[in-house]
């Protein structure tokens, strides 16, 4: 354990530092996300108004606000740029440098990002949750914060991050075949945005589609933690959902390993 700490903490520090250096870009993404949330907020408000107010498919407007902002926040938290990093490294050949270091490659990527994830949790997610709870208090007049749900949310968000990391790891290897990483990034983000329910709550989707999506790994990336936080799941269902997340984390771990091994072989064949 100590050995792991010593070896990988430098990666983590480097990750945090680069986040601080690029903090303006980081801020830009957060503000961009918030603008998007506001557009969606107004849109949903219009939808609720057009529906005659009250409930819409089991969501109140307050629920909707919490859902919108929290799912955006959660996707930002679990967002992994590892696909880009790997892609760039494959493109410019610097992946060879990473292979030369005496560390486990995916762990080094993971730690590179982990610092940033923790930072985001502290400076972005927690203030956001605080703000949302204040909003909820102002609207409903009661404090609805539930510490257990919050802790379960954090647990589920961590699993969500691991899944997101693994999926992105797999995506990154596409760089071996396609040069337009940027296009792929847009494609990936919009697909994940849709399938993970951060755009439209999966609960609103047609029954069959919803059932399919709920079992796919994408739902685990933001929908599950947010629904847990909002108290939409009972105790049994929470366990079940967390279980699905764990299963996906393990499966994707295996998949990314397989692709990685294949990729290394390809790297050797190409001569770096």
Sites of contact with another protein (CB under 8 A): 23-29, 31-32, 35-36, 38-39, 42-43, 45-47, 49-51, 56-57, 177-180, 182-184, 186-187, 190-191, 193-194, 199-200, 204-206
What's the min distance (Å) between Cβ of 5 and another protein? 25
Contact 129, 150 (CB under 8 A): yes
Burial class from Cβ neighbours inside 10 Å (0-12, 13-18, 19+) for residue 21 reads: exposed
Contact 151, 120 (CB under 8 A): no
What's the min distance (Å) between Cβ of 172 and another protein? 15
What's the min distance (Å) between Cβ of 179 and another protein? 5
What's the min distance (Å) between Cβ of 24 and another protein? 5
Distance separating alpha carbons of residues 157 and 180, to the nearest angstrom: 30
Distance separating alpha carbons of residues 175 and 190, to the nearest angstrom: 18
What's the min distance (Å) between Cβ of 249 and another protein? 26
Q: What are phi and psi of 27, to 5 degrees?
A: -60, -40
Q: Which two three-digit tokens encode residue 23?
A: 């903090």
The alpha carbon of residue 60 and the mean position of all alpha carbons in its chain are separated, in whole angstroms, by 25
Burial class from Cβ neighbours inside 10 Å (0-12, 13-18, 19+) for residue 238 reads: buried
What's the min distance (Å) between Cβ of 130 and another protein? 19
Which one, 14 or 144, has the nearer CB to another protein?
14
Contact 209, 244 (CB under 8 A): no
Which one, 192 or 242, has the nearer CB to another protein?
192
Which one, 110 or 202, has the nearer CB to another protein?
202
Contact 120, 209 (CB under 8 A): no
Which one, 227 or 238, has the nearer CB to another protein?
227
């Amino acid at each position: 354990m100590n050995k792991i700490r010593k070896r990988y903490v430098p990666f983590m520090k480097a990750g945090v530092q680069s986040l601080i250096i690029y903090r303006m870009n980081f801020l830009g993404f957060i503000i961009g996300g918030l603008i998007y949330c506001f557009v969606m907020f107004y849109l949903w408000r219009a939808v609720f108004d057009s529906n005659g107010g009250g409930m819409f498919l089991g969501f109140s407007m307050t629920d909707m606000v919490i859902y919108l902002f929290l799912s955006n926040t959660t996707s930002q938290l679990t967002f992994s740029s590892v696909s880009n990093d790997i892609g760039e490294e494959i493109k410019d050949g610097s992946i060879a440098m990473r292979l030369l270091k005496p560390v486990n490659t995916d762990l080094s990527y993971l730690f590179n990002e982990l610092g940033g994830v923790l930072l985001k949790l502290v400076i972005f997610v927690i203030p956001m949750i605080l703000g949302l709870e204040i909003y909820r208090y102002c609207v409903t007049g009661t404090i609805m914060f539930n510490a257990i749900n919050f802790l379960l949310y954090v647990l589920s968000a961590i699993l969500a991050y691991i899944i997101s990391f693994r999926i992105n790891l797999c995506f990154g290897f596409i760089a071996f075949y396609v040069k337009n990483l940027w296009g792929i990034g847009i494609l990936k983000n919009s697909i994940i945005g849709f399938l993970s329910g951060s755009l439209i709550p999966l609960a609103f989707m047609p029954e069959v589609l919803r059932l399919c999506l709920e079992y796919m790994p994408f739902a685990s990336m933001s929908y599950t933690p947010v629904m847990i936080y909002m108290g939409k799941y009972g105790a049994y269902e929470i366990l079940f959902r967390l279980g699905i997340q764990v299963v996906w984390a393990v499966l994707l771990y295996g998949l990314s390993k397989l692709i990685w091994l294949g990729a290394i072989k390809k790297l050797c064949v190409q001569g770096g």
